[in-house]
A and B are shown apart, each in its own frame.
Chain A
């Protein structure tokens, strides 16, 4: 993935083709996890996750329901203790130095957690108070963020009267109130219609372009591909792969695929292909599209689809489980 370099905010970022485009030179990563574990009774929710997020980059944790995305993001945000491993955010342990770390964080939780007893602007004013922000400076910033999130004119609206998309935009505005250095978003577009989803992606790309470091969790493959410099695939609490989205695809599967109905295919796949069967669907991967199409014309029947290999296919291969996004 190629970074569009803009001077100023991200002087610490250096493009290097070998590692997928992103590397931090001078500045230490904003987030460093090493062997992080979290258990709920016998259930291992997070089973030894290690990763690093360089300043100014976007990291996406991609995983199905119950993979441990929320648990891991809460541990990073300093709102949940861990059972093992180490976590560093801005060089501090977010659990031991909660106040100092959280002062510099923005968090948009999976359940937006807006204060339904307050109107739109008081949601921001009250939340700003938790950061020690007050007075005209806070009010001006809240107004600017409402305009930025296209909620201008909604100041006095009660939260219960907002649509799902407006609620999520307000939650993001709230997460930006303290001008965070790291923004953590837990499934920011789940349950939103495609139009709102694209609008939120545009906002996040914009913030990312301003040099904000972003950690987002998602079960939408497209979201991860659109926004992330690095995607980490989380499966049952373990990071089973992590890389730039296109590198991830290249590393695990050939570039093209034919999807067809499994029961209709008796023939062997073409030479050099990888065949995977999930339920009643057969996936045949090959680097040469021509070969693949010739094979499909001869052997495939029923509902058949030829396309480029995507992150979703990689996810299926790594976890044996479909994403539900």
Chain B
């Protein structure tokens, strides 16, 4: 049997930043181990959408939307969808699997990590993935000629904030889930209608009165309008008050992230 490794002086307690960063690095490590399998669907899905609808159907659509050719109109929605789905999946299904089946958090809590460290690290990881995927998809959209403004360089930042907001929402939902099949509800009843009726496929102004106001009230509308400001500029906005949308997204990110982390913390404690 080998020697017992020598005793060192007791280590100082790690700082909050160190602990949160260590959680982030754990997720990054796991992710890096299976990068191709992980990243491919998240990036390909929005691109298929662009190809199928933007190029396929879009060819038959002569009309301009918000003063943009259809392909360019869709760019903002595709970016929003990328950030939203990335964060939503990571904070629901993936988080639940880690919590319930892999029991990954139980052993984290046996280290100096607190429940807050665990979920702050995790939500920052969700947001980072949002940033990363938005950057990749924005690059492809730019190459495809669907982006016209240099402000689009800030799209990954919007992706980060958007992902933070939707990961917070995902956490709120996950904190009530008892069975993994319930996530189906979150996606089909929550996200999908929000994505398709909040300015991805067609301008929200086209919706009849009543429905239109509902769309304006969704977080998704503000996300897509924020991306539209960045990739196409304010002259192609859907509403005159579009300048307010980035602020709304930031406010939602702070509120949802804080509430989501707090709910998950209490879910983890017995």
Contact = CB atoms under 8 A, between A and B. Distances in A.
Contacts of B270: 40, 80
Interface in B110-135: 110-114
A109 B111 CA distance: 11
A145 B5 CA distance: 7
B1 A126 contact: no
B11 to A, nearest CB: 6
Contacts of A109: 106-107, 110
Interface string B200-228: 00000000000000000000000000000
B240 interface: no
A148 B33 contact: no
A127 B111 contact: yes
B5 A115 contact: no
A130 B111 contact: yes
Contacts of B19: 99, 130, 132
Contacts of A207: 4
Interface in B67-123: 102-104, 106-114
Contacts of A145: 5
B102 A130 contact: no
Given A147-B2, A179-B8, A206-B4, A129 B25 contact: yes
B41 interface: no
Indicate the size class of the contact surface on chain A. 35 or more
Interface string A7-46: 0000000000000000000000000000000001000000
Interface of A: 40, 77, 79-81, 98-100, 102-105, 107, 109, 111-118, 122, 126-127, 129-133, 141, 144-145, 147-148, 150, 152, 174, 176, 178-179, 181, 202-203, 206-207, 210
5 contacts: A109-B106, A113-B106, A132-B13, A133-B11, A148-B1
The 10 closest A-B pairs by CB, nearest first: A132-B14, A113-B107, A130-B111, A129-B22, A107-B110, A147-B2, A144-B5, A102-B112, A117-B30, A103-B13
Interface of B: 1-5, 7-8, 10-15, 18-19, 21-23, 25-26, 29-30, 33, 102-104, 106-114, 269-270
Given A99-B19, A127-B111, A130-B112, 7 more contacts: A79-B110, A98-B114, A102-B111, A130-B23, A132-B22, A145-B5, A147-B2
